[in-house]
Each structure stands twice: as structure tokens, then as C-alpha cells.
Structure 1
Amino acid sequence: MRSSTHVALNGASFLAIISAAALLLPSAAFAQEQVLQDQVDSGAPEQLDEPADEPSDGTTAGIVVTGTRLGSSFRAPTPVTSIGAERLNALGITNAGEALVQLPSFRASTGPAAQANLGGNIGARLLDLRGLDPQRTLVLVDGRRFVPSTVQGSVDTNLIPSSLVRTIDVVTGGASAAYGSDAVAGVVNFVLDRKKVGLDGQVAAGVSQRGDDGNFFASLSGGTSLGDRIHVIGAVEYEKLEGLGNCTTRAFCNSQTLILGNTPPGAGGQPANLIIAGVNTSTMSPGGLINRSYNAAGQVIGSTATDPLRGTKFLADGTPAPFQYGTLVGPLFMLGGEGQGRNGFISGLRLKVPLERVSAYGALTADLTDDVTLNADLSYGKVTGTVDGALFRDFNGTLLGR
């Protein structure tokens, strides 16, 4: 009985102290009351800490609460670069693949203005992240793989209509490797505006400041809803690029500039290698040129200085005539003379490939249920590029006499 009375007295004194503290520290009263009430309910008396002295100026001391809500694991977001349709329109670029090449993470290794003029992908706009080849860049449309258009398995972005693109997401972080070996360099996801409503059209044309490189572009896109659960979008695009001729259409190429070796190095007080204009070829002429002569056993006759037939060219009617060599004659080029010029090797290579493109795209989205959605996409495209190969040269031809 004595023990019960003691507990009751302690509980009463605690409640009295709590009431007084509530007037001084209202912000902390509830927490103290809860703790002390738990102590009373448990039947274990506790010694109450003495309250801190109040400031002499009558103000209430500040309460500082420290703590942390940081997670125990490190989480880093995947780096994503997004380009919206508004940005594409502001750039005035009518091809989404051409716009991506302007990002520093892409290398302009393919396209009408960057072509090797060889192979079967002339005019294709392939995405090359980090310069690891287009085969290492995965191209998606709405998160799904797009049909490859090259034998290497790359996607030609000419076939993706830019008029339907809502945004383009580029993933270049290490997380992109989770998509497979073709995503080692990164992933490019074209997000289409699958809820597009209405009809849009665009026509653009122009030429370069030099009056060449003409281009024409036209597109028509639209979308509509069929009921509450079905939406259809579609687009048709046509593009034609006139391209540019070979480098002789520009002054920087007409000078026939090349690096020639000084023979012997340092002769005439000049360096070993000279950057010099007026370079011609030393090993060919339009009708043919004998650079070295051989005997019946296939052995070289004499040296370049003593070969009796070296330097014999043939005119249009087959008449032999001496070939005029220049100076600094090397195994392929020389300074001056009557050669064809170094541009003869690249005269067939265009600065920009002519291209004609037709692409069409249609997509249907149907919400079968609240949890099931059906997507059906249909794509058609045709890209035609035109190039002229380098001049054919017949090396080491045999001249047979009667």
C-alpha cells in the first residue's frame, strides 16, 4: 500500500511539473508529456532532469534539432540528354538524325555531308555515339527496337519522320550497356507524339550562299481519336538534296596544295617537307605513261635515270611523246610538270552526296483494357544517294608490240 501511494504522489508531481513547463516551452510540452505519461503507466519512477536556466533577458532559448534522412545506399541517375520538338524547330533542321549530329557526343561519320562515297549506305544518316561505330549505338522508337536498314544492323534515321517526334532521349552512361552489345556506346530513343491531334504541314527550300546545295523538304502529319480508346497518327515526308560537286568547286581545292618531300631533305635551305601549291601527278597521263620498263623476265631495266622508256606518254591517237616532269619528283606527285594534278584522284568524290528520301509512318494505339494497350506501327522508307567513284587507274599494264 505504501508503494502504491508513493507512485501516485510521484505521478501527481510529474503532472504538476508538466503543467508548469507547458507555459514556458509550449513547443516541447507534448513530447515531454508523452514520455512522462509512459513512465507513469509503466510504474517506474524516473528522476526528472532539471530545466535549463532561462536567459536573463527574458527571451526563450532556441531549440536546435540535428539528424539525417540520407539513405544508406548510393543512387546515381542515368545521364540523359533530351531534345524536344521545339528545339528541332528552332534549329530549322528537318531531319532528326541531322540534329543529333550537332551534339558533341556524336561523331558525324555518316550522312550526305560526311560520306566515304563507297559501300552501300550512301546518304544514310547513321548515329555514331562516341565514335565507336554506328553498330554500337542502339536506336529505339518509343522504347522499342527499330528495323535495321543496313547489312551491319544499323538504323538509318532517314526512315523516322521528324514531324512525329515529340522528344529524343540520348543515354550515354554505363547503364546503356544493359540493352545489349549494340548499346555499348549508348541508346537513342525517339519518342513519338502518339496523342497528336489535328493536321500539320511543312514546306521548306533553300540554297547555299554560293548558289548551290539546293534542298527541298515537305511533310504532312496528323492524328485523330477513334472513340475513347483508339488513337491513330501518321506522317509522310519527302526530301531532296541537290548536293555539292567535287572539291574543285571551292577555291581551297583548286590550288592543288599538297605536302611534298624535299629531295634531298634540307636542300636549298628548305625543310624536309613542304606545303606547296601547284602539285601534279608524276605517274600518269590521259593516254597512258610508261613509268618503268621491264625485260621479258619481268626485271626492271636500268634505274629511273637510265631507263630508256621511262617518261614516254601516249597521245590521243597513240603516238608516243616525251612526258614533261616537274621538280621535287616523288613516287606519285611532283611540283609543276604536265601531270593531271593531285585532284585527279578525288575529282569524282563529292563534297555532299545528292539524296532523295521518301518516308511514311503510321501508328495505332488502342487501350483494350485499363491494363492492356495494343500498339501497331507501320513504316515505309526509300533513300536514294548518288556518287561518282574515283578515277580508275590501271597500274603496271603491259604494252605488247607486234
Structure 2
Amino acid sequence: MRRFDRLSTFSLVASLLSSAAYAQEDPAAAPDPAPQIEEEAGEQLFVTGSRIARQDYVSTSPLVTLGQETLESTPSVGVESVLNQLPQFVQGQNQSAIGAVAGGGRATLNLRGLGETRNLVLLNGRRLPLSNAFAVVDVNIIPPNIIENVETITGGASAVYGSDAISGVVNFRTRRAFEGVELDARIGSSFHGDAGTRSFGVLVGTGTRDDRARAVLSLSYNDREVLWGSDREEFFALGVLSSFIAQGTYVPSATNLPDQSVVNAVFAQYGIAPGAVPNSRSLGFNDNGTLFSQIGASNYRGPTTGLFSTFGGIVRQPVTMQEYIVQPLHRLNLYGSAEYDLTDSITAYVQALHTDYQVTGQVGWTPTLFVAPITIPVTNPFIPADLRTILASRPDPTAPFTLNQRFVGFEDRKFISDVNVTQYVFGIRGELGVSDWTWDIYGLHDSMDLVETQDAALLLSRLQPLLNAPDGGASLCAGGYNPFGLAASTSVSPACRDYVETETHDFTETSQDVLEANLTGGLFALPGGDVRFAVTGTYRRNRYEYDPDPIRENGDLIGTLASVPTQGRINVKELGVELLLPILRDMPFAHTLEVNLGYRISDYNITGTVNTYRAEGLWRPIRALLIRGGYERATRAPNIGELFSTSQTGQVQFGSPPSGGDPCDVRSAARTGANAGQVRTLCLATGVPAPIIDLFQYTTVAIASATSGSTALEPETADTITAGLVLSAPTGNPWLSGLSLSADFYDIRIRDVISQVSAVTTLNKCYNLDGTNPSYDPDNAFCQLISRDATGGISVVSTPYLNLGGLRTRGVDIQADWRLNLEETIGVPGRLHLNAVVNFLDSYRVQILPGAAFVEYAGTIDGTQAATTPPVGLPLPKSKIFANISYGIGPGTIGLRWRHLPSMRDVTSVTRPANPAPGVPSYDIFDLNAAWEVNEQFGFNLGVTNLFDADPPVVGGTLGQTQPGTYDIIGRSFYAGATIRF
């Protein structure tokens, strides 16, 4: 596979300025939909959700718009952090926070909690570059200073845009007509003096005197500082308690256990009662040569705070304290557009987008995890005397023993993602010369190159020889490696670091090619106006290639999962038709009555032909009331990752007993409940060794899962129903003329859902924690997906992509907007603006397998986001509120924003109702913002987010665990920005 040639920013600027054409038709140039019932005459308009241009617009589908002011009122440098506050969104893959090391630093969007692959993200109505094999768009690539607003259609839109638009469309609209120069700068920071952000941008717009040529160029830079878990120790001191500790532990083999009387004798020297430390228990190493029992912390003489913990009587290391909870980001965005009128009726255009950014993830020091067991021979010279005594009592005293350790003496693990994204659009549009028909033909090419570097990976092939060497490895590097105890294991010589550590590079490429032609115009007149149509023909091709470092591919990295090369290509040919039928206008009981129809046929080279269609309508019986609704049949074809992925491994957190962890652990609710005997028998049958079945404890909080794709997958099918009302007050009343209200019901039902049965769900179902294996049958389909090693530990859970059951969600969105001129109403200078967007979630039901019952998840939250499949969008609050109030006088405005989440049950109340984890309380955040336009050339804004410094709630009943993105982990922060125009 080729290594990537970076595109020079300067060469891209030159190519933009030398182009004689531009691609900004902006098929999303709709007026602000708040209030949504206003009509506009004059210029023809396009709106997200339709390709038909018209001179007035009212939305037949629910539409939410975020303006530039809202996007700017945050210290974050990521637009996704603002969108995720809207009730229609659920936290997507925000790689700015906690443990995000395998996502390439992506920031993604998730509508309705139906998953990032089921909503379509557009820029000016056109598809954005893909960031991975699963057709997920990374919104990091959109330059913040070009965004005018963001329109979100929250109903299906496959009939207009094709696959991936099941839950809706998010369309970023750029600033169109702009002349002059605009400079902007923003800084932000927490009140702790950390988590700083910086943003700088320049926007230039110009045109020729005769206005035949126009161009816009934008350059912006964004920077986000790192935040460590230890910087918020008051919350994360017990975050993700790992059993892999710096002191190291001896892990007894179930088939070669030491003599219990010898263990008793050794611990009696420390004053520990006989039998208090079972012979199957992992033993750790104190710096004075004595041993301690990891479970029970018997004779533990090490630190208990900071990076160490004895919470729950177990010696562990809180991983969140060691890692980045906000990842550092450095991003350069370049956007350019130009257009040239070839004739009075034909315009050529070009648009280019380029982004370079780097994100670094870090999850603490490397543990002995996800590789073949690291063993130590009894000839190792560093073995403590008391451990030698215990080892000698085993049935096979000369056998090597297993070491578990977190290698604090080496460098911590950093995962550096360097992303390079480029997209070009070239097109030509014009008038056909028939009636008012217009045409538009464009070609689009984009590519994404991702280099993921692990900068201090540890090689198993180097560490194991150090441990095997009779001199402890001193002949291989200065001092060798002594893993026994905190002081010894952290005193690694530079020579040994260089010997064991290496740097790896994984390469990912995606590309997309689109060729599209559109024809739109009027056909004939109806009583309500001209029947209008749009015909669209599209060809789209996507390519993906992943080439891991050979070291990773060979499984030679300690603490890091192996992966194999993957590649795939898909293409689709589509034809779509839309009709707008204005049936009546200005008639009794029908101020407006119209219907919008759409149909699309799509031919995929892998999965065949699918059809999508929709019928929507609106009726305004009086000017102040609009009634709208519709039905859509939507589809989602499987993407490259779901089709072609070879076995790709990942890490899944599954908590600790009793409410989480391995059901075979003797501390788990499954082993102590009413059916403990049947669970014990099933654990034996699925790989837990008999000698330790009644002592078995699995203290690791994460397991490995293996994902694989299939070309036998079929497309998903969805039916979406929407129905709503929009009210606006009549003009003439100063109290009511600025008031508008909307309420929209939605019901989305997806069949043949393409997803995985998650590792945690598989465990729950195999061991009958949710009642789906009442006979405790080891041949159960879910049990067959679980593999255990010789010690009984879970080595991997298979999670292949399948057409599973279904997803069903329904609810109501409510929007309210009230603008008051206070001078006209109460005689006080100024203006008052109140705005609120609210979602009420009535139901979110999941069917795991075809024919199975649907299970209700509404009102639940999942700390690991891995406990259920296919709902990848937890939390799913029953309500969500995003409200603003602002007061303005002259050029100044001050506002207060309120974000509310209600209390929620933990997802385990559904997945294992007999022993659920605690839920979370309600959560409220208030943000204060202010802006002042000093004059036409200068303005500034500033604000405070999380005004009252609300703490994030504990999720899953596990201290130090929450949901970043859903809850604020940074705390009270401020931002300040300024704009200069000339």
C-alpha cells in the first residue's frame, strides 16, 4: 500500500485562486425556520430535505436550525459539542474525551440515538468525506468560520439523498455572498486554568467589478489542550479500576496450583490468618520482597492514593487517573470556492476543502493484556524468596508462571492520529431554455489519509527474552528488567527502554467519487401554483483500505490488540424524482395545501437494488396554523466495514462484580443468586477450570471483542411517520406577533438492522442474566461466541456483523420561539428573545434477533456504551431540554442557556433486571453569554459555561465513571472572542 503524500496548503491555495469556476449552488439556502411558517419571495430557495427550488418555503418535515451565534457561544473548538446539546441528538463518537484511542480523533453525530451510520452529514447539500470504513463523517473537517448555520432534518430522507439518511440529515450551510476580510479569534479555558482552547480564522471574499466572477477563501486554526484524569482527581480517583498494577502479580495456573499449606505458612509470617489467602489468588510483590494478596489487599504495603487504589479491598490502578480525559487537538482548515459566469445563463464553479489535524489519545501505561501470557521461568534471578517458596510447592515446580503487570517503568501509551482530508467539487449549472427549468452537473472527489502512530509500543518479542534470560536480561540491556515490586519495575534503564519500546504506524485511506446531474423546474399550474419537479441521477463510489503495522499484524504488541489488513470497494447508481404539488392556495379553509412526493431507485454492486419513496404534505387552514406530516420508506445499504471487515479486535469495558464483570466470577450476582448452581455448571462447560471454579475471580474490567463483516448482509429498511403542528400568532399584536410554536411527532421503525450482538449482551444472554437461556445450555448460540483461556479468563468474544432484529423509536419534538419588542409592549428599551427545543422520548425498543420480543430502553443510560445492541446511542432520556433567554439593547446582547437531562435508570435495569446498577439523577447546566457589536467593523463575545460548576453524575454505580459529552467533565469554563471586518 502506498504511503501518503501530503497536499501542501500553499499548493491548495494556489489551485483555488487559479480556478475559473466555483461550486456553491448551496442547495440548503433556506430561511431560518424559526418561525418556520414565514414565506419569502424573490430568490429561489433550496432547503435540506428537498431538491426542488421555489420562491417561498415552509417545511413539510421537522427542521431544526442552529445559527452562527449559538455555534460560537462555547469554549469548545468542536461543532459537535454544540449540536450534541440539542434534544434530537445523542452523544456520538467525540474523541476529545476519555480513552478514545482507536477512532482517529473523530467527532461524529448521532440523531435519535440510532447510530452515527444512520444519519447523513452534508456540506451545502453534498456528501462530506468518509472518515472510516463505516461511512462515518468526521465533522472536525468543517472550518468553523465558514458555517452560517446548521439545518437538521429529523425524519428520514433516503428518497432525496440515498442511503444513510434513515434518522435524518445534518446539513452545514456555508456563508454565501461575502465581500471583504474578516478576522476572528477566540480563546477558552476552565476556571481551573486548564483545558484551554484557541481558535483563529480569516475569511476573504471578493469579486470582479462586473460580478461575473466571485470567490471566497477561508483559513482557520484550532487548538485544544490536554486534560488529564488526575487534573480532576476529585471525580476520577477511582475511574476504571484495573487489576494490572505496576507492582506486578503472579497468576496461579488452575492446573498447577501451589500447596495451600505453603501459602498459609508464607502469609503467616506477615500475620495473616491461615486460609485468608486461597492458593488460586493472584499475589503481588512489595518492595521489601514480601508478597500481598491482590484480592483482599492482605499484607499490601504500597501506595493507596493517586495512581493506586485499594477500593473494595482489591489492589488496583485507576486507569482514568493516568489518561487524557480531553485529548489535545491541533487543526488547520482551508476552504475555498469560486464561480464564474460563462454566459448570462451558465455558471461554472469549484469548491475545495482541506483539513490537517492531529489528535493524541492516551490510556495510561501498557498492561499485559490481549497477548499470549507473559511468563517467567523459575530461573529468573529477581524472583523474591517467598515467591520461590510458593512456586516450589506446585505439582510441577519447574514450570514457568504467568506475570500480570502494568509497565509503569516504560513510556505511557500514546496514540497519535494524523489526519489529512481533501475534497474537490467541480461543476457547471445553468438555465435549460425551457420554461424556468435549470440544470446542474457536478463531480466530487475526496480522500482521507489517516496515520495512527503508537509512539512507545512494547514488543513481546523483546520483553519475553529479558524475563527468560538467566541473568534477568542484563546481557541484553543494561540492568535487565526486574518486574517484582514498584521500585524495581519502575527503575528501567534507558538502554532497556530502547530495547523493548518501538514506534508503530497504521495507515488508513478512504476515497469517494460522486458524479451527479440535477434537472428542476415547473411543469404546469394547479390552483395553488406551479407543479414543480426535480430529477436527479447519481453515481457514487467509495473505497477503503487499512494497512496495520506489521508488528501489530503479527500480534507482537503488549497491551494492544492485533489487527489485519482490510480493503473494500462499493458503488451505487441512483435515479431520484421529486414532485411538489401545490393543490390549493388562498382558498377558504386552505390558505395553503400542498403535497411533496419522492421516489428513488438505487442499484448497489454488492447488495442489489432497493427502492425508497416518500409522501409528505402540509395544510394551512388559516395563516396562523400549519399542519404537516408524511411517510417515508428509507433504506441503509451495508457499508464497506460491515461488508468486508476481516477479524478486527477491540476492547470493551464491562465493569466489575457484583453488578458487572464476568458472570462466572464468584462475586457476581449470577454466582450468588437463586440460580447460582446452574450458572456454576455452565461456567464449567464454557471453559472455567474445575479446580478454581469456586474461587474464580476475574478482576480485569475490560475484555476483547472480535468483529468481522459479511457480503451476505442485506440493506436495512425503515418506515418513518411524522405529523406536526406549527402555530404563529397573527400580526398586529406586539405581544404575540413574535411568537411561534411547533410540535412534531415521529415514529421510526427499522427492520433487518445491521449490527453486532455486543460482547456484554452476549455474556448476559449466554449466562441467562436476561432470561434468554433458561436451560443454561452451553450450546446456546451466544455461548458459542465466547472463548476462554486456560485460566478461565475471557480471551475474546466474537461480534460479527449480522442482519439482526429491529429498532423502533417514537417521540415528540417541541420548539418555541418568542421575540418581544419591549419598547412596544411595556415601554422599556430593548428586546427579549426566548427559545426552547424539547424532546419527549416515548419509546426506544430493541429487538436483538428476528422473532424475538422488543425490549424497551427509553429512560436508560449505559456507562460503557457496550451493554446493548443495536442501540448505540445511549443515554436515552425520556426528555431533554435546550432553552435560551436573551436580552438585547442597541448593539449588545446578554443571554442565559439552560440544558436539562432528567434522571435515568441504568441500562442494567433492562439487561439484568434482577440486579441493576444505580441510575443517575437529573442534570442541569446553565451557560451565560454576551455579545457586543461595537460597530460594523468590530464585535466581541464572551461567556461562562457550566455557570454553577455542576459535577458529572456517576454512571453505572461505579465511582469515577461517567459519560463525557453527555455530562460536563471539565467544569466551569469561560470563553472570549473578537471579530474584525474590513
Q: Name the TM-score class by shorter chain.
A: 0.5 to 0.7
1:2-401 matches, within 5 Å, as: 77-90=60-73, 95-114=78-97, 116-122=99-105, 124-176=106-158, 178-226=160-208, 227-247=210-230, 249-254=232-237, 256=238, 284-293=244-253, 298-301=255-258, 305=275, 310=281, 312-314=283-285, 320-323=289-292, 327=296, 335=311, 339-341=315-317, 343=318, 345-394=319-368, 397-401=374-378
Superposition deviation, residue 94 in structure 1: 5.3
* Distance (whole Å) between structure 1 residues aligned to residue 127 and residue 239 of structure 2: 46
Query: % of aligned pairs identical?
Result: 27
Helix, strand or coil at the partner of 1:347: helix
Distance 1:397 1:369 in 2: 73
Whichever structure has more helix as a proportion of its residues is: 1
Alpha carbons of structure 1 residues 92 and 321: separation in structure 2 relative to 1, 3 Å: closer
User: Larger RCO: Structure 1 or Structure 2 (Cα < 8 Å, ≥ 6 residues apart)?
Assistant: 1
Letter in 1 for 2:331: R
Distance 1:293 1:91 in 2: 54
Cα distance change on mapping 1:111 and 1:224 into 2, 3 Å: same
- Give, in whole Å, the separation in 2 of the partners of 1:213 and 1:168: 26
CA distance in 2, matches of 1:170, 1:257: 35
How far does the alpha carbon of each residue in 1:273-292 deviate from its partner, in whole angstroms, 9 at most, with x for none? xxxxxxx76x5542322242
Amino acid at match of 2:80: G
How far off is 1:76 after superposition?
7.7
Max Rg structure: 1
Instruction: Write out per-residue CA displacement over residues 179-224 of structure 1, whole angstroms, 9 at most, x where no aligned residue.
Output: 2221112111111122111110111113101111011110000211
1:303-332 superposed Cα distances (whole Å, 9 cap, x missing partner): 79475585643356xx74221567599xxx
Alpha-carbon RMSD across the aligned residues, in angstroms, is 3.2
Kindly provide the amino acid, as one letter, of the partner of residue 198 in structure 1.
G
Kindly indicate whether the alpha-carbon contact (under 8 Å) linking 1:230 and 1:367 is maintained by their aligned counterparts in 2.
yes
Residue pair 2:95, 2:103 contacting (<8 A) in 1 also: no
Change in Cα spacing, 1:348 to 1:178, as seen in structure 2 (3 Å) is: farther
Aligned to 2:769: none
Code of the residue aligned with 2:171 in structure 1: it is N
Identify if the C-alpha distance between structure 1 residues 245 and 335 changes in structure 2 by more than 3 Å, giving closer, same or farther: closer
Q: Secondary structure of 2:112's match?
A: coil
Which amino acid letter does the alignment assign opposite residue 400 of structure 1? P
Corresponding residue pairs, total: 294
Structure 1 residue 399, shift from structure 2 partner: 3.1
Between Structure 1 and Structure 2, the one with more strand by share is 2
Name the CA distance, whole Å, in 1 between partners of 2:244 and 2:122.
50
- Residues 385, 177 of structure 1: CA spacing in aligned structure 2 closer, same or farther, 3 A cutoff? farther
2:200 and 2:231 map into 1 onto residues whose CA distance is: 31
Unpaired runs of 5+ residues, structure 1, are 1-74, 259-279
Shift of 1:359: 0.5
* Match in the other structure for 1:18: none
Q: Please give the TM-score of this superposition, normalised by the length of structure 1.
A: 0.64
| TM-score, normalization by structure 2 | 0.28
Letter in 1 for 2:219: V
Query: Which string of whole-angstrom CA distances, capped at 9 and with x for unpartnered residues, describes residues 61-96 of structure 1?
Result: xxxxxxxxxxxxxx9811111222244345576543
Q: 1:171 and 1:338 mapped to 2: Cα distance?
A: 50
The 8 Å contact of residues 177 and 186 in structure 1, kept in 2 or not, is answered as no
Q: State the distance in 2 between where 1:240 and 1:363 align.
A: 25
The change in CA–CA distance for 1:158 and 1:183 in structure 2 (over 3 A counts) is same
Kept in 2, the 8 Å contact 1:177–1:184? The answer is no
Query: Could you tell me how far apart the structure 1 residues matched to 2:130 and 2:245 are?
Result: 44
Contact 2:226 2:328 in 1 (8 A): yes
Contact 1:219 1:235 (C-alpha < 8 Å) held by counterparts: yes
Contact 1:117 1:349 in 2 (8 A): no
1:378 shift after superposition: 1.2
Q: Secondary structure at the match of 1:386?
A: strand
Deviation at 1:365, TM superposition (A): 2.1
Q: Which amino acid aligns with 1:321?
A: T
Distance (Å, rounded) in 2 between the aligned partners of 1:312 and 1:96 = 48
1:220 is matched by which residue type in structure 2? V
